[in-house]
Amino acid sequence: MDGIHDLGGMHGFGPVPIETGDYVFKAQWQRRAFALAELLGGPVPYSADQHRQEIERMPAADYLKLDYFEKWIVGAEALLLQAGLVSEEELRTGRKLFDVDVARHPKVDAENLVAIMRSGAQLNFPDDARRPRFTVGQTVRVTKDSPSGHTRAPRYLRGRTGQVVAGHGVFQFADAVAAGRGPEPQHCYTVAFTARELWGRDAEAADMIHADLWESYLEPA
């Protein structure tokens, strides 16, 4: 999705607000919002990619206006609606209008959740059966594909040529996970691009920009 969230290379956002932005949480409600969005991933359930996709689907003006953690709540609310666990009216009024089947949407115990958070998610797959299409050192081009759903190929790399500098094995594919199609595991690579390849004669210097890209984002160049 080529939405406003895909900020790489855009102008118009002024200097980095370092002085005023050097905090994680500024208000107590931000802590609650963060924890709520994390916690609801269990019973609803939803993945990080689905949650990101809902944030990306916000109107661009809202994306720029809302607080970061309010966006997390917007994303969680959208996923609750899609799962049929809340109604628009419930969200509007805060008053419960119907019960949900908690057996099918069991709440997550705090200690269990912390244990999972501490051990981490399972994002990669044994790669014995899949041979990587690209090798380290190979020149590749990011496809020009511009899907309307969640994708992790940023717009500033679309159609650009770089060099594979690392292969990471097989990972769940964010586009597929966000679309609800399951993991569709794929090889993932780090690709290095010259600043000149990305910004032409307006590149600041002879630097390198790296991104981690799934195999289906790439084609031989």
Nearest approach, Cβ of residue 142 and other proteins (Å): 11
Footprint (CB under 8 A) of a second copy, residues 23-82? 56-61, 63-65
> Is position 136 an interface residue for other proteins (rule: CB under 8 A)?
no
Asked if 84 is part of the footprint of a second copy (rule: CB under 8 A), the reply reads no
Q: Does 34 bind other proteins (CB under 8 A)?
A: yes
Considering only residues 126 through 185, tell me which ones interact with a second copy, judged by CB under 8 A: 143-148, 155, 158-160
Q: Which of residues 69-108 bind other proteins (CB under 8 A)?
A: 69-70, 73, 76-77, 85-86, 90-96, 99-100, 102, 105, 107-108
For residue 160, the partner it binds in a second copy, other proteins, none, with Cβ less than 5 to 8 A by kind, is a second copy
Q: What angle do CA 145, 132, 139 make, to 5 degrees?
A: 60
**Which residues, other chains included, contact 148 with Cβ-Cβ below 8 Å and sequence gap of 6+?**
1
Q: What is the total count of residues that contact other proteins (CB under 8 A)?
A: 101
- Say how far apart CA 159 and CA 210 lie, in whole Å: 15
The owner of tokens 């690209």 is 134
Bridge partners (DSSP) of residue 190 are 166, 212
Facing residues of 167 across strands?
189
- Per CB under 8 A, does 147 bind other proteins? no
CA dist., res. 211 & res. 142, Å (int): 11
Q: Are 188 and 212 contacting, i.e. CB atoms less than 8 angstroms apart?
A: yes
Using CB under 8 A, pick the residue from 101, 201, 206, 220 that binds a second copy.
201
